[in-house]
Amino acid sequence: MIQVIAGNKGSGKTKRLIDIANEALKQEHGHIVFIDDDKRYMYDLRHEIRFVDAGEFGGVRDSNADVFLGFLSGMLAVNFDITLICVDAFLKLIKQTPLNETEAFFEKLDALSKHSGCTFILNVSCDTDLLPEYVKQYVI
């Protein structure tokens, strides 16, 4: 399953994502991963959640959607126990791919989710009215 938290900058998306990740510890039986473009929110998460600063993995931050999909696929390939991946600052992580050119990414991410049983929650800094139709179906 894919879920998208969308809204303008400063609308509380990151706090909501952090709350969802922390709350998921009560329900998820697998590992939870929180990916961000820096360490800013690392201490807002419960210690059981694996925090990943994408900036520490050369070429992932500020790259494109294909590189980021490979990064996610690699995580799931080495750890079958991941059941939830939360991604903050999604558009910063795929900076070289405009949001309106991510349809193939969302199709592949959906297939990866079904194959692995992992849920992905993406934070997208964009007004919900401006989201492409194929993204709107995932908005929560």
Q: How confident is the model at residue 11 (pLDDT cuts 50, 70, 90)?
A: very high
What is the pTM assigned to this prediction? 0.94
- 37-49: average pLDDT: 94
The 10s digit of each residue's pLDDT in 54-93 is: 988 877 877 899 999 999 999 999 999 999 999 999 999 9
Rounded to whole angstroms, the Cα distance separating 52 from 72 reads 11
The answer to whether domain 2-136 has CATH 3.40.718.10 is no
What is the rounded CA–CA span in Å between residue 55 and residue 21?
20
Under 8 Å between Cβ of 94 and 64: yes
Task: Give the domain ranges of the chain.
Answer: 2-136
Q: Which residue has the tokens 């998820």?
A: 28
